[in-house]
């Protein structure tokens, strides 16, 4: 009872901020259903609930149902012990539950899967939530509550779901000093100073939010790793978080700095083939598992952007990863080895480097190694074609890495719903095993029969009261979880569910907000990097446009390296006549990307250097089309402002005013991107700004003079 009571208090605390509507509740907003007829119908169907079984996760489920049903239905609900309760939750092998299950249902249920269904009986209807594992039962509980939140008809529900991906994980780029690299919602939520003795309520709320969308893992620390997190003092703190997360089905992972044997182990080398180094990692892994018996494993960034790695010792990525994997194998741990690499020498085309380094290593990694690949070949740009490594490593599990935090997409001042971007990548056809070989089939393992699968998202959480800075950035956290569970879900349905759970079920709200969200990504691409342009952002802070930057220590860090604007035209030639990056794709894809006439215009300047007067599908010249795309982006943001204004009566004042102010900022930033970019590119095109495109408000020199020492996500630079 002690655990149950304390957890109930935590849930009570979670819903307290509701009166202020700060956004702290995220999508777990258990406010009373406003539709009286629907509410009365639910009250007639759900009179009591019972959770059969005993574990820490069962206690969490009881408390969740109590809080959810009490809030949504407007009257107290406490757990019952009666097997006749109208809502019955329990594991499938419980006799009370098993009587309602068919052999087919039991066969279909996976370890983390769940079944939610209505049971018709003579006297009344009842509802069943079941699973083979307590965590699956928790997922089913959240799904049942979502049905109420989204005002669904319960009469004939029959929902059986299993996750399509094994490891569904958030990557926190959080540092031990509580700064968060590329974090735009305040400081890191991990208070290392107070841990392990002070367990912040926010940790429980974080775990609960993740479990509600099916996420089952978290990497606590930055990929630019600090070896200190592997020391005993920090492992005690990590253990406290792992213990707290365990009832929610969330495993803890850590980033491992490759040079840790030197920095905290006293060795003079980190060579992965050195026996002292191997022994050091084996002992360190044993120590971690003594603290955290279900520790997930390591995420490693090696030989990239100055991080140490096996190549420092003339070893391959596979040799480095395998050394760590061997240490983890006896405990069931895995290594997630990032494919985002920079060589010490500048390549002819940065977009080719990861494929060139990792494709030849296919089949040489241990079975408990996953190669973690960003969605595109450069670096989380507003739009990129899918990474050529997807489909190119059939013998090695390749997992997806998406960025939830909006490093290149407006950070925390812009409303950009990312699910359409992620879906464009997941739905892309690699053709490696013929038509239908989509990226999602690579990620879920079905294309190559991977033994383990994963999908990672760079987290956007912070200490801001609403977790994510921009209220609508919550939707990206939510959408990532939904797509990690099932990459085949639609961005539209996910958006509508989030709106219903986060704001309300009014048709006008759903229509206006879903339209805003579904158009927001394309708008941002248009006013930032239309037609396949990329890497045009400001240096260091990555805030705002700076396509003119050319004076950094490496050419492939500069925007001019990527857009290559000149008197003839603009774009990076990756065709067979250029860097030949197209050759890294399957022939069917390469043929399309290689042709200026066949390639989708959204990728034109990614793969081709195109003349300013090249005729586009619209009949306009490239220069005019580029200008119109920038203007279209601005116009869409202005429409979003109107749409938001139209739902004011349906939205609480605090969140309405917050989004209203942020949309004002977004409109200014969209205009800034348009004006600065066109002013600069016009110095090469020598062509006038076309009619119906607003001319730049300031001179190019003005835009080039802007400085941003206060930009978030990095340490200030003056």
Instruction: Supply the DSSP symbol for 174.
Output: B
- Give the rounded distance of the alpha carbon of 202 from its chain centre: 20
Token reading at 462: 């912070």
Active site residue 407: yes
CA dist., res. 260 & res. 591, Å (int): 45
Q: What is the DSSP string of 636-674?
A: HHHHHHHHHHHTGGGS-HHHHHHHHHHHHHHHHHHHHHH
Contact assessment for residue 8 and residue 63, using Cβ atoms and an 8 Å cutoff: yes
Selection from 62, 136, 56, 127 nearest residue 92 by Cα: 136
Q: What is the largest CA-CA distance in the chain?
A: 80
Strand stretches in 290-426, DSSP E: 297-300, 334-338, 369-374, 398-403
Token reading at 539: 């240096």
As to burial, measured by CB atoms within 10 angstroms (0-12 exposed, 13-18 middle, 19+ buried), residue 619 is exposed
Active site residue 379: yes
Token reading at 201: 């309520």
185 contact partners, CB below 8 Å, separation of at least 6: 412, 460, 461, 462, 463, 464, 466, 467, 468, 469, 473
436-452 core/surface letters (b: 16 or more CB in 10 A; e: else): ebbbbbbbbbebbebee
CA dist., res. 371 & res. 365, Å (int): 9
Selection from 374, 388, 379, 405 nearest residue 468 by Cα: 405
The number of C-alpha atoms within 13 Å of 148 and in the hemisphere containing its C-beta is 29
The catalytic position among 93, 305, 566, 615 is 305
| Cis bond upstream, residue 196 (ω within 30) | yes
26 contact partners, CB below 8 Å, separation of at least 6: 209, 467, 474, 477, 478, 502
The catalytic position among 379, 573, 632, 694 is 379
CB atoms within 10 A of CB 219: 24
The catalytic position among 133, 161, 407, 675 is 407
- Catalytic residue numbers, as ranges: 305, 379, 407
């Amino acid at each position: 009872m002690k655990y149950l009571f304390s957890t109930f208090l935590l849930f009570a605390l979670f819903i307290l901020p509701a009166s202020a509507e700060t956004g702290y509740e995220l999508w777990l907003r258990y406010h009373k259903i406003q539709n009286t007829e629907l509410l009365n119908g639910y009250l007639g169907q759900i009179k009591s609930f019972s959770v059969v079984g005993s574990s820490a996760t069962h206690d969490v489920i009881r408390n969740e149902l109590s809080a959810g049903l009490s809030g949504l239905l407007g009257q107290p609900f406490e757990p019952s012990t009666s097997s006749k309760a109208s809502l019955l939750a329990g594991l499938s092998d419980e006799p009370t539950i098993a009587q309602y299950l068919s052999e087919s249902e039991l066969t279909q249920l996976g370890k983390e899967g769940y079944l939610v269904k209505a049971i018709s009986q003579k006297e009344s209807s009842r509802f069943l939530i079941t699973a083979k594992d307590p965590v699956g039962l928790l997922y089913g509980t959240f799904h049942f509550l979502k049905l109420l939140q989204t005002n669904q008809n319960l009469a004939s529900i029959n929902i059986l779901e299993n996750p399509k991906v094994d490891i569904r994980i958030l990557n926190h780029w959080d540092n031990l000093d509580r700064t968060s690299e590329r974090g735009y919602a305040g400081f890191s939520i991990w208070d290392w100073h107070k841990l392990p003795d002070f367990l912040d309520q926010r940790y429980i709320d974080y775990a609960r939010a993740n479990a509600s969308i099916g996420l089952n893992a978290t990497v606590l620390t930055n990929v630019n790793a600090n070896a200190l997190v592997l020391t005993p003092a920090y492992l005690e703190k990590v253990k406290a978080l792992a213990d707290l997360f365990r009832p929610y089905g969330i495993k803890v992972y850590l980033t491992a700095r490759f040079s840790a044997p030197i920095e905290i182990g006293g060795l003079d080398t980190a060579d992965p083939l050195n026996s002292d180094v191997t022994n050091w990692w084996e002992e360190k892994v044993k120590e971690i598992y003594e603290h955290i018996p279900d520790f997930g494993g390591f995420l490693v960034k090696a030989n990239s952007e100055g991080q140490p790695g096996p190549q420092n010792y003339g070893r391959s990525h596979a040799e480095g990863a395998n050394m760590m994997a061997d240490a983890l194998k006896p405990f069931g741990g895995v290594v997630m080895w990032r494919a985002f690499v920079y060589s010490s020498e500048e390549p002819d085309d940065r977009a080719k480097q990861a494929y060139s380094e990792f494709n030849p290593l296919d089949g040489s990694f241990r079975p408990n190694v996953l190669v973690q690949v960003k969605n595109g070949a450069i670096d989380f740009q507003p739009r990129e074609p899918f990474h050529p490594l997807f489909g190119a490593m059939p013998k090695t599990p390749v997992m997806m890495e998406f960025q939830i935090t909006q490093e290149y997409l407006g950070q925390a001042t812009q409303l950009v719903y990312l699910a359409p971007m992620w879906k464009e990548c997941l739905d892309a056809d690699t053709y490696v095993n013929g038509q239908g070989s989509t990226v999602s089939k690579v990620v879920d393992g079905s294309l190559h029969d991977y033994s383990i699968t994963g999908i990672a998202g760079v987290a956007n959480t912070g200490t801001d009261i609403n977790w994510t800075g921009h209220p609508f950035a919550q939707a990206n956290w939510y959408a990532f979880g939904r797509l990690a569970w099932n990459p085949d879900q639609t961005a539209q349905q996910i958006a509508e569910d989030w709106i219903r759970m986060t704001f309300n079920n009014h048709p006008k709200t759903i229509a206006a907000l879903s339209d805003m969200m579904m158009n927001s990504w394309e708008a941002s691409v248009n006013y930032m990097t239309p037609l396949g342009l990329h890497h045009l952002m400001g240096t260091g802070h990555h805030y705002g446009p700076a396509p003119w930057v050319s004076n950094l220590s490496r050419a492939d860090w500069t925007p001019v390296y990527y857009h290559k604007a000149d008197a003839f035209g603009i774009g990076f030639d990756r065709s067979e006549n250029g860097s030949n990056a197209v050759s890294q794709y399957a022939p069917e894809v390469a043929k399309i990307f290689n042709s200026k006439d066949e390639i989708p215009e959204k990728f034109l300047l990614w793969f081709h250097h195109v003349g300013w007067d090249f005729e586009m599908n619209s009949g306009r010249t490239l220069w005019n089309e580029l200008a119109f795309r920038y203007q279209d982006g601005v116009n869409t943001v202005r429409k979003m402002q109107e749409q938001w204004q139209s739902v004011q009566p349906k939205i609480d004042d605090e969140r309405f005013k917050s989004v209203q102010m942020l949309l004002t900022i977004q409109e200014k930033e969209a205009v800034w991107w348009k004006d600065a970019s066109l002013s600069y590119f016009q110095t090469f095109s020598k062509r006038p700004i076309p009619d119906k495109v607003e001319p730049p408000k300031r001179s190019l020199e003005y835009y080039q003079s802007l400085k941003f020492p206060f930009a978030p996500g990095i340490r200030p630079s003056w």
